[in-house]
Structure formats: structure tokens, C-alpha cells
Structure 1
Amino acid sequence: MNYNKIILLGSLTLLTACGTQFPEIAPDVITENTLHDTDDPAIWVNPNDASKSIIFGTDKETNGAIYAFDLDGKIIENKTIRNIKRPNNIDLEYGFKLNDSTQTDIIAFTERENKTIRLYSVPDMKPLDNGGFPVFENETTPEFDAPMGIALYKSPKTNDIYAIVGRKNGPKEGYLHQYLLTSDSLGIHSKLVRTFGTFSGKKEIEAIAVDNETGMVYYSDEMHGIRKYHAEPSQGDKEIYAFGGEYFERDIEGIAIAKYADKSFLIVSNQQAHTFCIFDLKTNAFIKELNLGTLETDGCDVTTVALGDKFPNGVFVSMNDEKNFYFHDLAKLKLLE
């Protein structure tokens, strides 16, 4: 699919091959800049005061960081984790059990140059991983052991929390590794429980998202399509569906899941077209395409929870290729119309 881009002063309008124009939907907030190269965000909803929620975002470089932003896009320095060796993707989960009486919310992110995944508590930002959990340990092929994408899955059956991890390159089968995260008197542990996931071989697999409620994992096979699997290891490793590739110009990137009571959506970055494709989460049907003003978006995240007066309808967060992130009030995406 060939796209032509038309730049208009004061706004960005994208023209598809079919001649359909997508006028820019302006962000409500553009964050302060990071130092290097933004990639993937994650949203923590503060259970005590949603207006004080935190947006985390990776900044890729050897001396990279996990930035923490408030809802005005200002950097929260005492919540920001620095000196990380190329953090790539990030995800968040609630209620990780530390012991019989204590639990915490957590963020997990890949640290590519150390070939580990990292685990921190939220909002106190304490490391829980003793320096990182190794991944892809038995791989000998270059870049088959370099972690990139990550998504956390909390099983509705057991409340177990898993990290599903992708990499810079990998085999045609078993591209993703799934690790069970547990805690006991000796500390926190990561255990490989399965490998799964077909790869087209066309580029790479980075963006991953999980629907905890239905136990489904979605990932971007970047120049091929969106692939759907069971997230529960006991449900097997067979691919359920592959879809959507025809709607993207080239790289299929960041994935976010917007969950409502009666309807849910998959929002996926159409990277080189600088737009987002929206799919019905239940039927996988394409709904529409949106221009949110970002350039070359790698990662995105969404919550439908009201975040105080600033984002009363929830927020959609997307990486912009100018060292920042865009925040849109979710109502601007008109998902329910």
C-alpha cells in the first residue's frame, strides 16, 4: 500500500492511497522531552487519586531511562529510573503478591544490552529483580537473545503474573518466551514456562499486548499482520488468528487495548503512515484509521478509567519521534461512535 503525505501549515493531514484524508486530532498534552529516543509507554492509575496517576515511558540508549510523567506531561524526577542499558518496551500490572500479606503494583521492562527483563514496584520505584532476570538464555544466534517487547499477563484463574517477552530477531516458531513471576522467602523469581508465537521472518516482533479478561495476547509481526494467541499456558500454543496486515503501510507497531463494558478495541500504530488503525477486539474487524499528530509511533497505551478533571474520559498515550509522548483525552478518538 503506497501512502502520500501532505503537510499543511498548522496541522498535519495524511492522504491514503484511496484518497481519504485524516485531519490531525491535536493532543491535549505533549510531554517534556527525554534525552535520547522514546519508545513505549505504560499507564499507572493511582487507586487513591486517579488525577495523580503516572505515565511511564522508555528512552532507548545505552544510558537510557524509564521516565515518569505526571498528567501535565512534566517529568517526575524522583520516580524516573536512569542509567538503564537500552530499555525498550514496558508494561504494568496491578497486585503482584510479595508475600502472604503484601502486594504491590509493578512495571516490567526489557533491558536489551544486559539481555534481561527488569521489575520495579510502583509507585515507590524499588527494584525487585536483583539486577534483572535473564531471558533467552539458551540462544546462540546473534540478536536471538536481545529482548525488545514485553507484556504482563495476570491470569484471571490463578492471579499468577507472567511476562511475555519478544526480541530483536528470532526463529519462525517460538519467537516469544513466557516467564512466570513469583515471590517466596528467598526473593522474586522468573521461570520460563513456554515458548510460542509464529514469525513471518519479514522484520521483527516488538509490540505485545494482553487482554487479561479474555486471556488473549496480541502481537505485531511487523510487516505481516497482528497475531492472536491464548495467554494462558494451559490453553495451548496454537495461533488463533492472524489479521489486519492489509491496512498498514509497512511496520505494524505499538498495540493498546481499550476496554469498555459493552465493547472493546485494539489500537495499533501504522508507523510509516503516522496513523493508528482501530480494530474491534471481539471480531478483529477493522473500524477506522486516525491521525493523532505523532510521527513514527513505536509504542502506545490506553486506559478507559477517568483520570480526574484532566482526562475525564480516560487517556491514550503514544510515542512521538521527537523525544516525547502525546496524551489524548480518549473521547477524542470517538471509539464508541
Structure 2
Amino acid sequence: MNKLKVNIVFGITVLLLACATKLPEIVADVVTEKTPHDTDDPAIWINNNNPEASIVFGTDKDEVNGGVYAFDLDGKIIKEKSITNISYPNNVDVGYNFALTDSTSTDIMVFSEREKNQIRLFSVPDMKPLDNGGFKVFTDETDLEMKRPMGVSFYKNPETGGISVFVSRKFGPTQGYLYQYELVSDSLGVHTNLLRKLGVFSGNKEIEAIAVDDETGVVYYADEGHCIRKYHADPSKGDKEIYCFGGEYFRDDIEGMAIARYQDKAFLIVSNQQQHTFNVFDVDTNAFIKEINLGTLETDGCDVTTIALGVKFPNGLFVSMNDEKDFFFHDLSKLKLLE
């Protein structure tokens, strides 16, 4: 066989192997309208009074006119609920029933504003700022590069009801990479108190994605080039790492994470970014369960709820960022987590 034929046969063989190993795509129910710049991370706000009116918030990165866009469950942008003119918003999360006074509370949204070295806090769904322009983070750092926030995730202590937020950053040290800030509301308004610094960093790549399981009191974060790390979310439980797992299942970057919790079972769903797939782990055992293909490209962030959101998403909703300036919505049953 001559050289040309050998090359052709080899090329066909590689192509067939690639096709044979490609996971079947689970087609999205909804693809959102596109944002102007660069999507990154979503968060689902559940409207408990009217689940069909729930909102998906998604960040759109730009140093001058970035934004956090609000989408309805049809994937249409809700302009009056969207926040623009933000300097590079990275990650976003939502929380519920934050006490403003002894008698009033509100749902809240937090997102990082990287180029201003701060996090922002807004009420939901009226979208009013609660932060007087922003809360500065990593203020004790002398290296400016270590002040730039990326990941954010709320933790609500089930015993006290207090809400805190974990914040990761673009660059950081090998110890104390994450900071945890308590949210406090008093006569002077809402402000933050630094609770602690925690988290080991391997030194590979960076740490962005964070997910908190309020049910078990565990915070997970992605040491992108190494493993998924888990710690106690409650500072009173200590700062010792619980486990480091899963790195061998990722092609390169370990990215966005979301926790799907059912009555007696829970799953950690993590973006296998360069593979364009997601890895699913058992929350109780940390064991790898399966890999799924949702059709997204280079997913940064994702979010999930197991709560029924009306007729369109009666089994819950999984939202994932797609590297084409949009987000994909899947009815959660399509991921077949319980099978």
C-alpha cells in the first residue's frame, strides 16, 4: 500500500473512532436570545408564587458594558430585569429570604464585578441595588492581580438563617484562595464582614467555579487543572479539606458546577469544558456516575433546580452556558440522573 493510501486509511480510522466515541446529544428545549459580548455563568431564581414566571440570570462579560441579563423560561431577554454597564461580571448566584430588618426580607442576587475588584448585591425580582455601589473583596492583598473576583456562591446556614457568600478569584495563593463574607443588614444598610480565608490551590490554572450544598453544609470548588475540592461551608466546622476528587475524568479545565438535590439523592454536575460535555458525580460518595453531552460548547457555568417550573419544565431545569453568546435550557428529566 502506498503512502497516500496509508494516510487516507489512517485518517478515516481516526474519524470513525472519533464518531464512535462521541456521546449522543441531548437536545436543548430552549436556546436563549444572544447577549452582546461573552456569556459565562447562569443562576436560576425560582418564583415560588408563580414558578412559570421564574427567571434565569446570565452574565455577559465585557470590561465596559458587561451585564447580567434576565431571561424568561422561553429564553427571551427581560430588559427591565437586566443589569448593564457592569465592568466584567463573571459569576452569579441567587439566594432566598435575606433579612433586611426584623420584619422584612428579600430574595437576592450576587455577582462578581472583576475589573472593579468587587461583588454586587441586588434584590430580586425588583432588581434594586443593596450594596451602595459594590462590596470590595480581597482588600488585604497587595498584589492587584489577586484582588480580581470570579466565582461566587451563597451559603445559608440552616441553624442561624444567616447568609454568606464565597468568592474566588482570577489569581491567588496556594493557601486561602477563597474568601467567605457574611452579609449583614443593620441601620446603616447592608454590608459584608470577612468570615475566613480557606481553600488549597494546586498552582495549576485557576479557581473559578463554586457550588454550595446547603443541605449537607459543603462547599465545592474547581481547582481547574487538578480536582474538585470540598470543604465545610460553616466556619465553625473548621477549614480542613474534606476531599479532593474527580480530576482524572476531565480532559482539561474543571469548570461550572451545579447540585441537583432530590428527596433522597443528590448529584454534582460539572462542566468538562474542552470535552464539551458534563460529568456527573454522586454527592454522597463522590463517585463518578456518567458523562453527558448537552450540545453546549466550552461551557463555563451552569445551574440546576429539581423544582417543577410549570408546564415547560415540569421536572426541573438545567441551564448551561454555551460559547456562542447564549444559554441552553434542558428539562432536568432529559439528563436521566435517577436512572
**TM-score normalised over the length of structure 1:** 0.95
SS at match of 1:189: strand
Q: Give the aligned partner of residue 71 of structure 1.
A: 73
Q: Give the aligned partner of residue 179 of structure 1.
A: 181
What does 1:1-337 align with in structure 2 at a 5 Å threshold? 15=18, 20-62=21-63, 63-337=65-339
Identity of aligned residues (%): 69
What is the rounded CA distance, in whole Å, between the counterparts of 2:18 and 2:141 in structure 1?
A: 43
Q: Give the aligned partner of residue 3 of structure 1.
A: none
Give CA-to-partner distance per residue, 1:16-68, whole Å, 9 cap, x none. 9xx63301110000000000000000000101110110000000111100000
How many residues of Structure 1 are paired with residues of Structure 2 in the alignment? 325
2:273 is matched by which residue type in structure 1? Q
SS at match of 1:197: strand
Tell me: CA distance 1:48–1:136, structure 2 relative to 1, closer, same or farther (3 Å).
same
What is the rounded CA distance, in whole Å, between the counterparts of 1:37 and 1:236 in structure 2?
A: 37
5+ residue gaps, structure 2, are 1-12
8 Å contact from structure 1 (residues 36, 64) kept in 2: yes
8 Å contact from structure 1 (residues 147, 166) kept in 2: yes
8 Å contact from structure 1 (residues 32, 74) kept in 2: yes
SS at match of 2:146: coil
**TM-score normalised over the length of structure 2:** 0.94
How far residue 262 of structure 1 moved from its aligned partner, in angstroms, is 1.1
1:299 is matched by which residue type in structure 2? G
What is the rounded CA distance, in whole Å, between the counterparts of 2:215 and 2:332 in structure 1?
A: 21
SS at match of 1:121: strand
Bigger proportion of residues as strand: 1
8 Å contact from structure 1 (residues 153, 210) kept in 2: yes
What is the rounded CA distance, in whole Å, between the counterparts of 2:191 and 2:99 in structure 1?
A: 12
What is the rounded CA distance, in whole Å, between the counterparts of 2:173 and 2:116 in structure 1?
A: 21
Instruction: Specify the structure having the higher radius of gyration (Cα).
Output: 2
How far residue 14 of structure 1 moved from its aligned partner, in angstroms, is 10
Tell me: CA distance 1:103–1:141, structure 2 relative to 1, closer, same or farther (3 Å).
same
Bigger proportion of residues as helix: 2
What is the rounded CA distance, in whole Å, between the counterparts of 1:285 and 1:143 in structure 2?
A: 35
What is the rounded CA distance, in whole Å, between the counterparts of 2:82 and 2:336 in structure 1?
A: 32
8 Å contact from structure 1 (residues 15, 22) kept in 2: no
SS at match of 1:144: helix
What is the rounded CA distance, in whole Å, between the counterparts of 1:120 and 1:141 in structure 2?
A: 28
Q: Give the aligned partner of residue 3 of structure 2.
A: none
SS at match of 1:322: coil
How far residue 270 of structure 1 moved from its aligned partner, in angstroms, is 0.2
Tell me: CA distance 1:262–1:14, structure 2 relative to 1, closer, same or farther (3 Å).
farther
Give CA-to-partner distance per residue, 1:265-319, whole Å, 9 cap, x none. 0000000000000000110000000000000000000000000000000000000
Computed over aligned residues only, the root mean square deviation of the Cα atoms, in angstroms, reads 1.5
SS at match of 2:236: helix
1:166 is matched by which residue type in structure 2? S
2:132 is matched by which residue type in structure 1? N
**Higher deviation after alignment, 142-151 or 170-179:** 142-151
8 Å contact from structure 1 (residues 215, 230) kept in 2: yes
8 Å contact from structure 1 (residues 14, 23) kept in 2: no
Instruction: Give every structure 1 segment of 4 or more consecutive aligned residues whose post-TM-superposition deviation is greater than 3 Å.
Output: 13-16
What is the rounded CA distance, in whole Å, between the counterparts of 2:25 and 2:285 in structure 1?
A: 27
How far residue 15 of structure 1 moved from its aligned partner, in angstroms, is 4.5
